[in-house]
Amino acid sequence: MKPRNLKTKIFLDGGDSQETRKIIEILGFLDGQTTNPTLVSKNPEAQAKLARGEKFSSEEIYGFYREVIEKIAVLVPEGSVSIEVYADQSTKMDEMFSWGKEMFSWIPNAHIKFPITQEGLGAAEKAVKEGMRVNLTLCFSQEQAAAVYAATMGAKKGQVFISPFVGRLDDKGENGMDLIKNIIEMYGQGDGHVEVLTASVRNLDHFSYALRLGSDIVTAPSKILKEWVEKSMFLPDNNFVYDAGKFKPISYQAIGLNKKWREYDFYHELTDDGIRKFSEDWNRLIK
């Protein structure tokens, strides 16, 4: 069952409802789930179709994604399920918003994932004004987090998540967990309308340190959630030390939150890389 003193929400990062069901059985609870095109492409049914030499039509793939999402949503009715819009380098704001609005109607507990780009931020700004819940994804810098805060001003608590990807920064030799710490500190000067969702969690140390830092949400693959259960759902105290090893520290920047979102430098090459990978994985499923 859920540890009594746990304040962080625990999400599963995956695209298979059967996996969701098993994790709920193991944990005794689950606060939500995050999905993306790559995770959906790894769904057993999608993989079986590809193994038969078959692919989805453009209509079928969205129908399949919706079916997966609907099955997951039933399992976490009080939680949140993040659904990611398709985006490549040429996808415009209006197209992202249109797909986001359609996906938001799929289930009653959706957060729509938009990338932190000019087009994605513009779509998120419009979505929030229309009352949709959003998750700004592929975050790799404080400036991006500041832009998300500004683009979603006026949102209610629980309406906006931001997903910094720690593992992909680690892959570049930088301490991804520093970004979580820095964003939480920066958001401390604001109104609290954006919740930090620690993503791209690669190991139990990432997971534990996110709990220690007070991340609003942590999403992790089933493997790591199972490891946490094996550690008796350990909750780190003030003595917990995260060993960053040889990763280069990411210094805190004194960034104000009072500018318009377009005034921040929100470009990051890893965001572009992430968009490219997600779109490639999605397109591999289509005829």
Residue 137, beta-bridge partner list: 115
User: Which residue in 38, 165, 31 sits closest to 111, CA to CA?
Assistant: 31
Count of H-run helices and E-run strands, the chain = 12, 8
Diameter of the chain measured on Cα atoms = 54
What SS3 class is residue 175?
coil
Burial of 204 from C-beta contacts in 10 A (0-12 / 13-18 / 19+): middle
Q: At what angle do helices 118-129 and 142-151 cross, to 10 degrees?
A: 30
Instruction: State yes or no: is 113 an active-site residue.
Output: yes
- In whole angstroms, how far apart are CA 213 and each of 164, 196, 276? 14, 11, 31
How many whole angstroms separate alpha carbon 206 and alpha carbon 220? 9
- Considering the candidates 113, 223, 260, 287, report the single residue annotated as catalytic: 113
User: Which residue in 105, 103, 186 sits closest to 139, CA to CA?
Assistant: 186
Contact 167, 198 (CB under 8 A): no
Active site (catalytic) residues? 113
